[in-house]
Structure 1
Amino acid sequence: MSRFLLTILLMLFLQLAIAQPFTIDSTYQIISSPGDDLFPKWSDDGLRLLFQSNRNGNWDIFLFDFDKDTLIQLTHNQANEQHPEWFPKDNKIVFDSDRAGVNYLFQMDLKTDEISHLFKRNIECRQASFPPTKRLVYFSGFDRKSREWAIYSYDFVSDNLNHLTKLKGDCSMPIVSPNGKQILFSRVVNRYPFEQISILNWYGNLETELDSLWATEPAWSPNGLKVYFVSGEEEVQGEVYSVWKDGSHLERLTNDQLKVKTPAVSPDGKKMALSVLQENRFDIFIISLDEY
């Protein structure tokens, strides 16, 4: 089957797949702000949610506690702090910040509020993701030679920096699978689908390319079987889909006129946090996956 015909069939499937209507009234909004709230990240126990917000002008990191129904601003800096992530098995978070003029990864101790470099290497970096152990971190780093973003790993034990992807087009948003053996990432290409999902194994070999789906902002399911993503197709732009990591079982989850970004699935797989555009801003809502 030609790539052109396969593309047409997939576009038709994306439009005809059964989906639930997603309405604001049927969701739980954690908080409303005058700015954009993006990139939610669940804690391991599902009781807290990190996200970034520009409600005060620049990007800062916030934490919402579901048990206490409270919101805490974690960073207070004139620079931009973005892409928060939980440091595994410690009461720490990691984010990227341009406080030094370019983006570097920083860690913050939630007990002491102390902020320090995650590691000391001269590479512009952002979007950290961790396996279950604390030995490695995967991130998007800027390759000065190719002038493109690529996926890297850093080993805290051996102090080793590894350049994992050497592909044409920017590679970003690495997300480590729950078992730590695969890395999901987004890649920009100069042909259809223009932005696609690819999967590496933990040491950098390319295993899967879902190159028939225009997909962005990917997220793993807790069991590592499925991938959630936001569609870039013009007719269904901003809708949420799921697909098995081998490219089968494509399913459309939302069917509405709302633009959605940055989905994140709770550790128990029962809820999804996502940013929804309303009144010219993105607010974070929680939907139940039991209904989808």
Structure 2
Amino acid sequence: MRQVGMKNKALVLVLLLIVGCGSGSREVSVQPKPNVRAEDVASARKRVLKAPHDAEARAALGEELTRLGQFQEAVAQFDSALLHNPALLRAKFGRAEALHQKGNHAQAYRDYLDVLNDASTTAYVAQIAARVGIPFATRQLTAGPGDNLKGRYSLAGNDIVFQSNRDGNWEIYRMPVDGATATRLTYDPGDDESPDFSPDGRQIVFASTRSRKEKQNTGEKQRSIYLMNASDGSGVKRLISNAFDNWNPIFSPKGGWLVFVSDRDDKRDLKYGERQSDLFFYYLTDSSIARFTQGFGDKSSPFVSLNGETISYINNVNGDFEIYEQGLRETNGHRLIFEGGAKGGPQCSDDGKWIVYFEKNGSNFDLYYYQKEQRKTVRLTAHPALDAFPCVQRQGSKILFTSNRTGSYQLFEIDLKAPITREDLTISLSQMLAAGKTSAD
């Protein structure tokens, strides 16, 4: 498995390598259905019989039928309600909910959009946003030229570091999150990728193909791990290099060691990218290296918890790449999520209660977060474009991620404390319908 530093047009290919070939699209529940009592449905039917022209009564019956799972009859009741009162938002939203749960997602999305286009809509915005998978505000941080991706926050959250090919090949750049001008840090013909800040923000670790010869007959170069000053890119020092590939370095929270990915222990004579990858520690005090993961399967995309005691990563031992967690003193990892498509890029919250990742959803990639205690999955993005490589802001509420929703790959930011507005939700839902994308895709 590889996250190879190559030209931008191959990024989707890289993602496919990361998460494998599984699809497994799924429906994310907004909330559990309440218990439906037969007397509630019967009472709603009596109300309609007494007042057949009462739109509110028919809408109430439609809601009870939806909870009961009788979606076809529910839609008929909502249609009748709208015949008597075409402006009744309760009936419009209820019809959309029934259609969505029935499986007619495209029409449901059109009905949701009809509800949002009513300027008086306030009560249903959060419910629609959660249903279609775009519950929070999103803003763009980078723009052209070129592609900008795989961003990481500094510990303070004031700066980001990322890779960009705006000047030809992949180089490392630093930029304040307020959108000020980015500063180029590396100048090398090789590809520099996957940067990460040290906890004190003074250094950046990254992977690079610089000074490495091309692997025979593939045109690919193996990577080594380097360290440099975060302020200006000076003081470049090679930390990790051998005859095999080393990539995806991440600092520990206290900065005493790194975790990185390498295929160094697979001595089989295989083509580039076919050897098994595992996670390793690099100790900055004495430059020693120790293997962390064992067993079969490719392991990659490591992330260290804030307390430094647990590492999250992906492993394809069972076919698709899935998310695992493993304590530093544990021999084996345990799988976290048992539903949905192949996954990548896990990032854990400071308190360890939830984890953000990207997942293959049909032919696309979207962001999700998983609440461990409740075992609940919340969809964060549902754009027709590709959304991947999330980074959780330490001691904050932001999530940085990569998306090609503007045509090129750029960095965007989700604010978990800022629910999406009706206006932005309307725009996003219109784009999804125009692209023919629904949550069932």
Identify the TM-score tier after normalising by the shorter chain: 0.7 to 0.9
The answer to whether residue 234 in structure 2 is matched with residue 110 in structure 1 is no
State the identity as a percent: 24
The answer to whether residue 356 in structure 2 is matched with residue 233 in structure 1 is no
**1:55-70 mapped onto 2 (5 Å cutoff):** 55-66=166-177, 69-70=180-181
The answer to whether residue 162 in structure 2 is matched with residue 51 in structure 1 is yes
Q: Distance in 2 between matches of 1:68 and 1:13?
A: 35
Cross-structure match for 2:331: 205
Cross-structure match for 2:266: 144
1:215-270 Cα shifts (integer Å, max 9, x gaps): 211111122221101111317x3221111346812222223323201111222332
CA change 1:139–1:246 in 2 (3 A) is: farther
Unmatched runs of 5 consecutive residues or more in structure 2: 1-23, 32-129, 213-221, 269-274, 420-441
- What's the offset of the Cα at 1:58? 1.3
Q: Is the 8 A contact 1:229 1:240 kept in 2?
A: yes
Q: Distance in 2 between matches of 1:98 and 1:247?
A: 43
Q: Distance in 2 between matches of 1:271 and 1:204?
A: 30
Q: Distance in 1 between matches of 2:313 and 2:414?
A: 24
Question: For residue 145 of structure 1, what is the amino acid of its counterpart?
Answer: K
Q: Distance in 2 between matches of 1:104 and 1:47?
A: 28
Cross-structure match for 1:174: 302
Question: For residue 399 of structure 2, what is the amino acid of its counterpart?
Answer: M
Could you state the TM-score of these two structures normalised by the residue count of structure 2?
A: 0.58
Q: Is the 8 A contact 2:262 2:280 kept in 1?
A: yes
Cross-structure match for 1:252: 379
CA change 1:46–1:20 in 2 (3 A) is: farther
Q: Distance in 1 between matches of 2:249 and 2:329?
A: 16
Larger-Rg structure: 2
SS in 2 for 1:288: strand
Q: Is the 8 A contact 1:220 1:228 kept in 2?
A: yes
Q: Distance in 1 between matches of 2:192 and 2:398?
A: 26
The answer to whether residue 364 in structure 2 is matched with residue 242 in structure 1 is no
CA change 1:204–1:33 in 2 (3 A) is: farther
- What's the offset of the Cα at 1:103? 0.6
Q: Is the 8 A contact 1:38 1:261 kept in 2?
A: no
User: As a proportion of its length, which structure holds more strand?
Assistant: 1
Q: Distance in 2 between matches of 1:79 and 1:49?
A: 22
Question: For residue 264 of structure 1, what is the amino acid of its counterpart?
Answer: C
Could you state the TM-score of these two structures normalised by the residue count of structure 1?
A: 0.85
CA change 1:51–1:107 in 2 (3 A) is: same
Unmatched runs of 5 consecutive residues or more in structure 1: 1-9
Q: Distance in 2 between matches of 1:22 and 1:158?
A: 46
Cross-structure match for 2:245: 124
Q: Distance in 2 between matches of 1:96 and 1:45?
A: 23
1:29-60 Cα shifts (integer Å, max 9, x gaps): 22211322111100111110011112222111
SS in 1 for 2:412: strand
Q: Is the 8 A contact 1:124 1:141 kept in 2?
A: yes
- What's the offset of the Cα at 1:122? 5.8
- What's the offset of the Cα at 1:202? 1.8
**1:1-292 mapped onto 2 (5 Å cutoff):** 12-14=26-28, 18-19=130-131, 22=134, 27-66=138-177, 69-89=180-200, 91-101=202-212, 102-111=222-231, 113-119=234-240, 124-142=245-263, 143-145=265-267, 147-189=275-317, 191=319, 194-210=320-336, 212-213=338-339, 214-234=342-362, 237-245=364-372, 248-291=375-418
Cross-structure match for 2:107: none
Aligned length: 279
Stretch moving more, 254-263 or 110-119: 110-119
